[in-house]
Amino acid sequence: MIDARNVVKTFHGRGQVVRAVDDVTTAVTKGEVVVIIGPSGSGKSTFLRCLNGLETFDSGHIVIDGMDLAAKKTDINLVRREVGMVFQQFNLFPHKTVLENITLAQQVVRGRKPAEAEETARKLLKKVGIAEKEAEYPARLSGGQQQRVAIARALAMNPKVMLFDEPTSALDPEMVGEVLDVMKQLAREGMTMVVVTHEMGFAREVADRVLFMDAGKLVEEGIPSEIFSNPKEERTKIFLNQVL
C-alpha cells in the first residue's frame, strides 16, 4: 500500500542544513497498523507529512497505491483523496458546521450529491459517537469531540490509508481515551493506518509494527512486543526508558 524508499527531506535555515528525514525506507501493507515513535524533532511528523505530499522530499521514492509521489506526472490531489490525514490541531473548518465539515470535500472533490454526502456524514458521526452535534460549529465542541469530527471528515473520503499526526497530543488527558477508542475501532475494521504518537499504550495494544525514529533516521522497527520489551538499539532503549 505504501512503499517508501530512501526518502530524504532537508530543511535549510539560518545557514544550517537539517536532515529532517534521513534515508528512510519502509513499507506498509494493506490493513497494517504502523505506529511511529521517537523523541521530538526526530522527523516522524515530517515523514508522515511526506506520505501525502504536504511536505515535498529531496530524494527517494514514496509509492502509494501504485502512484509515485516523486514522479512529476503524478497528480497529488488524486493521491490525497486516497490518503486521509488527522492533525494534532484538528484543523476543522471553523466557519462550517460539523456536518458541513464532513460533507464539503465529498461534494467538491468526490462530486457527491448533497443528500448522499450528508448520509455518509451522519453515518460516520454516529460511528465516532457524536451524531447529536451535527449542527454545531467546531468552536462549541471539546477537543476530543473536534478530533473525532476530524477523523470522520477524513473517513468520509473513503481513504485507503489513514495518517494520524499526534492525534491526541493537543487533548486534555480525559479526552485522549475517546479518540484512541475510535482509532482502535478503525484498526479492528482493517483500515491501513500510520500513526505518529506518544501514546505507548496504544502502540503496544494496536500496532502491528512499531518504527522508532531519531534524528531523521529510522533506527529500529519491529513488532511492539519486541521493541518495547527487547529493543536492540541503544537509542531506542534510552528513549523508552524516558517515556515508559
Partner 1 sequence: MRKDIILNTGNTQIYSKLLLAAILILATAGMWGATARVDYTWRWERVPQYFLYKGEEAHKAAQDAKVARIQPQGKSTAVTLDYDDGTQEQFVVDTDALKVTQGETLFGGDTVGFTSSWHVGPLIKGLWVTFWLSGLSGILGLALGLVTGLCRISKNYTLRGLASLYVELIRGTPLLVQIFIFYFFIGTVLNLDRMVAGVGALGIFAGAYIAEIIRAGIQSIPRGQMEAARSLGMTVPQAMRHIILPQAFKRTLPPLAGQFISLIKDSSLVSVIAITDLTKSGREVITSSFATFEVWFTVAALYLIVTSLLSQVVFWMERRLSVSD
Q: How far is the CB of 50 from partner 1 (least distance, A)?
A: 13
Q: What residues pair up with 9 in beta bridges, in sequence order?
A: 21
E strand or H helix at 20: strand 16-28
Residue 87 beta carbon to partner 1: minimum distance, rounded to whole angstroms: 6
Cell numbers placing 70: 516523486
Residue 90 gets the label, from left (phi > 0), alpha (psi -120 to 50) or beta, of left
Kindly tell me which of 79 and 219 has the beta carbon lying closer to partner 1. Answer: 79
Minimum distance between the CB of residue 84 and partner 1, rounded to whole angstroms? 7
Does position 139 bind partner 1 by CB under 8 A? yes
Instruction: Find the part of the chain contacting partner 1 (CB under 8 A) among 13-21, 133-141, 172-180, 223-231.
Output: 133-141
Helices (H) and strands (E) in the chain, counts: 9, 10
Does position 206 interact with partner 1 (CB under 8 A)? The reply is: no
Q: Which is nearer to partner 1, 31 or 94 (CB)?
A: 94
For β-strands 209-214 and 33-37, DSSP reports them as: parallel
Q: Judged by CB under 8 A, which of 28, 33, 37, 105 binds partner 1? A: 105
Is residue 80 near partner 1 by the rule CB under 8 A?
A: yes
Contacts of 27 (CB under 8 A, 6+ apart): 2, 3, 4
Residue among 3 and 136 whose Cβ is closer to partner 1: 136
Contact (Cβ atoms closer than 8 angstroms) between residue 86 and residue 164: yes
**Nearest Cα to 38, choosing from 216, 222, 226, 232?**
216
Non-local CB neighbours of 219 within 8 Å, separated by 6+ positions: 38, 212, 213, 233, 235, 236
85 binds partner 1 (CB under 8 A): yes
Query: Which residue in the set 153, 212, 235, 236 belongs to the binding site for partner 1 (CB under 8 A)?
Result: 153
Does residue 11 interact with partner 1 by CB under 8 A? no
Which CB atom, from 159 or from 231, has the smaller least distance to partner 1? Answer: 159
Q: Residue numbers of the site for partner 1 (CB under 8 A)?
A: 52, 54, 77-78, 80-81, 83-85, 87, 89, 91-97, 104-105, 108-110, 137-139, 150, 153-154, 157
